[in-house]
Amino acid sequence: MAHYTSKLKALPMLLRFQNKCIINTSTLCTKQALDVIQDATSTQLRTSESNPTLHTRNHHGKFYMIPEDVKSKLFFCGGIPRSLDIQMKSFHETVLMVREPALEVMSYLKKINYSNPAVRFVIYGRHGTGKTTTLAHLLHYGFASRYLLVHLPWVSIWTKRPKEVVASQYNEQRIDLPVESAIWLQHFKQQNSELLQQIDLKTTKSYSWSKREVTEQGEPLINVIEHGIQRVRHASDCVAVLLKEIKIHSASGKFKALVLVDGVNAFWCKTNVKRPDRSLVPPSEITITRAFMKMLQNDWNNAAVIASVDVLPANRDYTMLDPYTPRVLLGKEGFELLDPFIPIETEQYTEKEIDSQLDYYCDRLWIQSERGRSEEGRKIIKFLSGYNPYHVMQLCDPL
């Protein structure tokens, strides 16, 4: 692994060899410059079809654009890898490559009989092969298809780095994460505000938050969301109530729900959440994680669940050696909860995909060196990256 990493770091030196003036610092990735260049290569690299419900295998390997207003709705608190998001801002556009795993899941979603119990999909693959970007593509698909979106961008944000930990006021054994809960409620509202107004869901029972604060039976479900955002202390319980109501209302046929969870195996791993006595809290005793784990079950209909499993950050240095399959990462308990599910593997770039990615970097002036843009330079990038999408990105950053 150390030898492999040293080869990655050596790439800029290899590409500078025989070419002392690689980077043209006078050429900047300004929006005006990029727009001029885009016209010449748009037909080869891109598809004008920005609606993911219409994506087919004819679009495979091409980039499609997500409108900025849609991006701000869907990825309010995450869902795009940070390094990719920074790159997108540099390019002044949000684009994703149409790849086979997303197309496969979309084809299944179109054929599912939603009157049956919820169908579960588990996306797995080596680190950097596109699990999160596949979920991002499917999230956009769900939005365009008018699913009610229940999206958790990264489970470990809750289980590893919570901003505030408090004891539940309703159950002594439970722990609340009020800040994370309020942020997620805002995320849910941002993604589903238009659909919630149209389907007009009502609460099926009364919920008492305190002696003076009650959401009565028959009130709009949006009131529960607003209460959790405004009264952060109650946000965790509002998340639990909201998810419970969604499962109840899904039987009505007014909507189809799409649950998307990135890094789902963190639900069955140790947390960094501590009680006052410094003991670690298992995920099943955290109010919001417990509520989300119930959403993964197939005891409801008019729904589909798409989850990804990933090697946790602490072990990523050994990703090339460690098993990455759902059975290993989910463990016995997680595997039994999600079984049966449809496994979807994300793999390294195909020849067509890596050529498309390198063409895109050249188009965006991200690869500026003559050697890096040459056929020889492309062969070096392909060899050193092993066709891994994340490593391709890393290797091209200094070029």
| DSSP class per residue in 178-201 | HHHHHHHHHHHHHHHHHHHHHH--
Do 76 and 153 form a contact (C-beta atoms < 8 A)?
no
pLDDT over 90 (residue 81): yes
Determine the average pLDDT of the residues in 98-106. 98
Q: Please state the φ and ψ torsions of residue 233, each to the nearest 5 degrees.
A: -60, -30
Percent of the chain whose pLDDT exceeds 70: 86
**Cα–Cα dist 15/131, whole Å:** 30
H-helix or E-strand spanning residue 327: helix 326-338
pLDDT of residue 394: 93
Q: Residue 182 pLDDT more than 90?
A: yes
pLDDT digits (tens, 9 = 90+) for 358-395: 999 999 999 988 888 999 999 999 999 999 999 999 99
Q: Is residue 18 over pLDDT 80?
A: no
β pairing state of 175-176 and 166-167: antiparallel
pLDDT over 50 (residue 130): yes
Q: Which tokens hold the place of 78?
A: 């995450």
| R_g of the chain, CA atoms, integer Å | 23
Beta bridge partners of 64: 96
Provide the CA 312 distance to its chain's centre, in angstroms: 15
**Mean pLDDT of all residues in 66-91:** 94
pLDDT at 37: 46
Q: Is 217 helix (H, G, I), strand (E, B) or coil?
A: coil
**Position with higher pLDDT, 278 vs 238:** 238
Q: What share of the chain is helix, strand, coil (3-state, %, to 5)?
A: 50, 10, 35
pLDDT higher than threshold 50 for residue 224: yes
pLDDT for 36 beyond 90: no
In the chain, what's the furthest Cα-to-Cα distance? 76
The model's pTM: 0.88
